[in-house]
Amino acid sequence: MPEIKNNLSQFTVMHLNARSMLHKIDHIITLLYTTKITVDILAVSETWETENTTDLINLPGYNKVSKYRKNNAKGGGVTLFIKDSIEYSAVHHEHRFFESVFIEIKTPHKHSTIVGAIYRPPGGNLNDFVAECESML
């Protein structure tokens, strides 16, 4: 099937769990540029990004929307990398039982699509997580 360019009625999303993206950024760039599929949106969980490292974590040709832990706390974090050619706006949500990042993409015919990434830290109460997800949705 030929690749459809500049047609946001179809787009590809990939998810990775990085467990510290700063030290793996070169591997991720290699993956994105050697795969035969154009990745329009890359969702990354467990970025371990902080306020001090956020400027160091970028992908050429992509914009970034991130949510990392406050006060430079270690672990967690979620990020969406969005192809430069895609129009989007960030959708902000605050949660107690998980970390998330969402964007709204404008598609043809004035429709929109919400894309996001959620990370639930281990050890949290699963019922609280599910209830908060249901409330958000």
pLDDT value of position 11: 86
Task: Please report which confidence band the pLDDT of residue 7 belongs to, taking 50, 70 and 90 as the band edges.
Answer: low
pLDDT digits (tens, 9 = 90+) for 99-115: 999 999 987 777 889 99
Residue 2 and residue 52: Cα distance in Å, rounded?
A: 41
Q: CA-to-CA distance for 75 and 115, rounded, in angstroms?
A: 22
